[in-house]
Copies of this chain bind each other. A is one copy, B any other.
Amino acid sequence: METFPNIRKISANDFFMRTPTIRDVAQRAGVGVGTVSRVINGSPQVADGTRQKVLEAIAELGFSPNKAARQLSGGKTSTVGVITPFLTYPSFVERLAGIQDVLDHHDYDLVLYSIRHPQQTQRKLREIGAQVAVDGLIVLSFLLQTFTPEELRRMNLKLPLIAVDHDPQDYYPHIFIDNVAGGRMAAEYLIKKGHRKIGFVGHVIESAFENESGFTSSQRRFKGMKEMLLQSGLPLNEEWYRFGAPNEYSACEQALHILSLPNRPTAIFAAYDTLAFGVQAAIDKLRMKSPDDVAVIGFDDVKAASYMRLTTVNQQLFHSGELGAQYMLERLKTGSFKPDHWHVELALTVIERASA
């Protein structure tokens, strides 16, 4: 009893428009499958006439190469993973949007991994690496910092990694900003505006949940501010500095406290825009007005900051995502990260709006 391995080719199912394969295209164009593959992948090794025929066949059949097969054979997925904590924080979303934008323009897909607890990171990384479901991985914020270089080495990930919004270091490419310098800039701006009594509303780590690297960007920005105040011979007053959860409501409470002091500051630097919104709410509650009664400057330049007319320090959130994706794609194309892309610092700019 002979078997007919090709029986599917003429089976009844095919009358219902089986999605076309490269073989169908080859047949239709009267060429071999190899040639079709070469056309699809833009190899120069194809005569113009042939290429034309193939392209026509592709169009007529509405063929589109099957990703899984492509990946299995070639080892490439045309997919980049993004792993992020706190999907709902506006700053992460903006970076994500930047990444998405670049990947989309290069016909790469974006797989989103979201982590609720840093402890999940390791498991997730292993999974991702083992399944080979993505060509590369963009890691947002501190997630990678939860590992020592040694741990990371032992995990022996084959995947190209790039970190966006990550402390400067030497172990993998990353894009970062100088938070301390940013803090200095914010303070400098306020000082130039004539303020001498400057407060701060920031974020403390309450648990290991938030950041295991020991420092939040809030702390660094605070440090920069203090440096600048000292350097300018201005008073540092511990009463004016308050820390809480990273949300508007908490910030509002901190600000209410600060602004109710008998000797209150004339300006407040909020570590994130989100906190600044809370500070603005407090100012409004107290029937004060910024910038006249109290000036407010934020940090991040989130989308909403422009609606809210918040003066803030821009850190190119969207662009950081774009760059991360761009460098990753280059890495995937050329096989290695450009040395210039290993350690990329983004410039900060004070954006003057209505609040300070």
Contact = CB atoms under 8 A, between A and B. Distances in A.
Output the residue of A17, A19, A64, A126 with the most chain B CB within 10 A. Answer: A64
Interface in A122-176: 126-127, 130-133, 156, 158
Contact of A77 (B68, B127, B285, B308): B68
A10 interface: no
A337 B19 CA distance: 23
Interface stretch (A106-114, A212-220, A328-336, A342-350): A106-114
B72 A303 contact: no
Interface stretch (A33-41, A93-101, A231-239): A93-101
A211 interface: no
Nearest to A65: B131
A85 B307 CA distance: 20
A58 to B, nearest CB: 11
Interface residues of A, number: 56
A248 interface: yes
A116 to B, nearest CB: 8
A158 B20 CA distance: 13
A131 B66 contact: yes
Given A114-B100, A278-B307, A284-B284, A68 B249 contact: no
A192 interface: no
Residues of A contacting B: mostly: helix
A309 interface: yes
A318 to B, nearest CB: 9
B307 A64 contact: no
Interface in A262-283: 278, 280-281, 283
A132 B158 CA distance: 26
A304 interface: yes
A326 interface: no
Contacts of A94: 88
A9 interface: no
Output the residue of A68, A69, A109 with the most chain B CB within 10 A. Answer: A68
A62 interface: yes
A8 interface: no
A25 to B, nearest CB: 13
A47 to B, nearest CB: 27
Nearest to A304: B248
A55 interface: no
B308 A249 contact: yes
A104 interface: yes
A167 B160 CA distance: 42
A249 B306 CA distance: 8
A267 to B, nearest CB: 18
Contacts of A19: 130, 132, 158
Interface of A: 17, 19, 62-69, 71-72, 77, 79, 87-88, 90, 93-94, 96-97, 100-101, 104, 109-114, 126-127, 130-133, 156, 158, 247-250, 252, 278, 280-281, 283-285, 287, 303-304, 306-309
